[in-house]
Amino acid sequence: MTRYIFAISFLFLFTISNAQEKKRARDYGIEIGVMARGNLNAITDVPGVKVGHQTLVKGESIRTGVTAILPHSGNIFQDKVPAAIYIGNGFGKLAGISQVQELGNLETPIILTNTLSVPMGIQGTVKYTLGLEGNENVQSVNAVVGETNDGYLNDIRGMHVSESDVITAIENARTGVVPEGNVGAGTGTVAFGFKGGIGTSSRKLPESLGGYTVGVLVQTNFGGVLTINGAPVGKELEQYPFANAIKKSDGSCMIVVLTDAPLDARQLERVAKRAMMGLAKTGGIASNGSGDYVIAASTAESMRIPYQTREKFDTGDVLRNDHMSSIFMATIEATEEAIINSLFMAETSMGKDGHTIQKLPMEKVLPILKKYGAIR
């Protein structure tokens, strides 16, 4: 009995110790870019934005989940938001893209999950939306569901994500600190050969440039030559694609960009394009088998699009193109840092068929960053 209690106590202390060791890029003194970050350095720094996760870790082979991003806390179907989607590389199964591109708006929470659970993501999102007060007569819902393939660690063919898991992720959505790493849709993902996951970051523009906030959340599951704040980490660790015939770089990355700047769909597509620049700065190469999608939306109340109205014209002042460059820069910086945070906050994971993906070896990474002046 004493030995049993000791083992439990040791496990508890070990778990706490590991949790305390997890640090984000900023905690190590890594300053990515030059712009100020938001208070939480998260997508939830954008007022009203909520994020929820449903994490599925069961037995030896289920390592997956769902992440929901809500642009505002109201009925999104009744108060739609301007949106755009940019395809960096289209080897993916993003649902709902054509209506967003055609109408330029978003009418549901954004859902992220694994490749074969996209249909369940649609079903759960539609059921959630139909159940909201005010939607009793709604008969068409455009659910936006993104994915990456977590089949190396997860029994993806088992299709373990359920409709209730999707609804739970939405209902779990909160403002405040966003859990990162092996959570939600990032539970079974792999990036640059290491454990990837969910990551987030934000930038806050000075009042002279509008005081707007740009927040980014990523689901990292892609390859390339890892670069952290300009330091060639992947090269130094000799962990990169095509080093031999075995290593590959295929994978995907879902990127969600939200801002309270009053932007229309055309401008949001311009913003979404810049997120791919942030991905490139981390060493991502948008490989042949990669599904790299950016979903961008404006949460500005003045830009909301009512489902039903007697007005013939949309109203709301739209930011002039001349003032977009600072938002572009904020998007690039926040995307780059969100990707790095997804790696820093991830933990080693063992899954299907005994496959194990190691977390980023910080004991090796930090000296490399110091060597190249990428850390204070």
- How many other CB atoms sit within 10 Å of the CB of residue 38? 18
**H or E element in which residue 276 lies:** helix 265-281
**H or E element in which residue 144 lies:** strand 144-148
Whether 16 is covered by a domain: the verdict is: no
Query: How far apart are alpha carbons 114 and 150 in whole angstroms?
Result: 6
- In angstroms, what CA-CA distances link 279 with 9, 94, 143, 313, 368? 41, 18, 25, 37, 20
Whether 197 is covered by a domain: the verdict is: yes
What domain range is 316 assigned to? 25-371
Kindly provide the b/e burial profile for residues 134-155, where b requires at least 16 CB atoms within 10 angstroms of the residue's own CB: ebeeeeebbbbbbbbbbbbbbb
Instruction: State the Cα torsion 346-34-251-153 to the nearest 10°.
Output: 0
The residues that bridge with 284 in the sheet, in sequence order, are 224
Phi, psi of 287 (to 5 degrees): -70, 175
Q: In which residue are the tokens 């791919």 written?
A: 276
Task: Write down the pLDDT at residue 21.
Answer: 72
Q: What is the CATH number of the domain that holds 139?
A: 3.60.70.12
Average pLDDT taken over every residue of the chain = 93
Whether 67 is covered by a domain: the verdict is: yes
Closest CA to 256 of 6, 21, 49: 49
Say whether pLDDT at 3 is over 50: no
Task: Write down the pLDDT at residue 251.
Answer: 86
What is the average pLDDT across 138-157? Answer: 98
Give, in degrees to the nearest 5, the angle at Cα 29 between 24 and 31: 90
Q: Cα–chain-centroid distance for residue 126?
A: 21
Q: Cα–chain-centroid distance for residue 14?
A: 28
Whether 9 is covered by a domain: the verdict is: no
The residues that bridge with 295 in the sheet, in sequence order, are 85, 256
Give the tokens for residue 88: 């960096």
8 Å CB contact between 101 and 53: no
Instruction: State the Cα torsion 23-328-252-69 to the nearest 10°.
Output: 70
Say whether pLDDT at 235 is over 50: yes
Task: Write down the pLDDT at residue 252.
Answer: 95
- In angstroms, what CA-CA distances link 260 with 203, 299, 325? 12, 5, 15
Say whether pLDDT at 6 is over 50: no
Res. 240 pLDDT band, cuts 50 70 90:
confident
Longest dimension (CA), the chain: 75
Would you list the DSSP string of 7-55? HHHHHHHHHHHHHHH---GGGGT---SSSPP-SSSSGGGSTT-EEEEEE
Whether 345 is covered by a domain: the verdict is: yes
Say whether pLDDT at 7 is over 70: no
Q: Which segments of 48-154 does DSSP mark as H helices, in order?
A: 97-103, 118-130
The residues that bridge with 201 in the sheet, in sequence order, are 216
Closest CA to 333 of 32, 21, 23, 9: 32
Whether 176 is covered by a domain: the verdict is: yes
Helix 265-281 to helix 325-344 angle (10° resolution) is 50
Say whether pLDDT at 15 is over 60: no
8 Å CB contact between 258 and 69: yes
Query: How far apart are alpha carbons 5 and 352 in whole angstroms?
Result: 30
Whether 7 is covered by a domain: the verdict is: no
pLDDT in tens, 339-363: 999 999 999 999 999 999 999 999 9
The residues that bridge with 106 in the sheet, in sequence order, are 81
Residues marked active site are found at 252, 290, 292
pLDDT in tens, 22-62: 899 999 999 999 999 999 999 999 999 999 999 999 999 99
**Contacts of 363 by beta carbon, 8 Å cutoff, 6+ apart:** none
Query: How far apart are alpha carbons 186 and 64 in whole angstroms?
Result: 7
What is the average pLDDT across 332-342? Answer: 98
pLDDT in tens, 280-297: 999 999 999 999 999 999
Number of folded domains that form the chain: 1
Coil vs helix vs strand at 192: coil
Whether 4 is covered by a domain: the verdict is: no
Say whether pLDDT at 108 is over 50: yes
Give, in degrees to the nearest 5, the angle at Cα 64 between 61 and 70: 170
Q: Which segments of 282-361 does DSSP mark as H helices, in order?
A: 325-344
pLDDT in tens, 247-283: 566 789 999 999 999 999 999 999 999 999 999 999 9
